[in-house]
């Protein structure tokens, strides 16, 4: 459907579940991920297309690295 992408889907899911988008993290690697990468706290994986890497707030080589980063950030708050 035109105008519906992963970002819109994630926004809707947050609304339905009552989750604040500031508590939501998106991970992507390709052009179809750009909407959610731009709208949410986001990570691009190392093999992502350049546009996703540029739009993401963070980059990671592995999902485990992303989780470690998130856990470290949470503990420091």
Mean pLDDT of 60-70: 91
pLDDT of residue 49: 97
pLDDT of residue 75: 65
CA–CA gap between residue 50 and residue 4 (Å, rounded): 22
CA–CA gap between residue 53 and residue 47 (Å, rounded): 9
CB 56 within 8 A of CB 40: no
Q: What global pTM score does this model have?
A: 0.80
Q: Which pLDDT band holds residue 70 (cuts at 50, 70, 90)?
A: confident
CA–CA gap between residue 77 and residue 56 (Å, rounded): 22
Q: Give the sign of the dihedral formed by CA 67, CA 38, CA 52, CA 7.
A: positive
9-60 residue pLDDT tens? 999 999 999 999 988 999 999 999 999 999 999 999 999 999 999 999 999 9
- Which single residue is written with the structure tokens 């989780």? 67
């Amino acid at each position: 459907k035109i105008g519906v992408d992963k970002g819109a889907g994630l926004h809707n899911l947050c609304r339905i579940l009552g989750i604040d988008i500031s508590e939501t993290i998106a991970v992507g690697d390709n052009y179809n991920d750009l909407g959610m990468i731009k709208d949410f706290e986001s990570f691009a994986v190392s093999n992502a297309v350049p546009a996703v890497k540029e739009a993401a707030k963070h980059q990671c080589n592995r999902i485990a690295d992303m989780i470690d980063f998130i856990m470290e950030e949470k503990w420091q708050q």
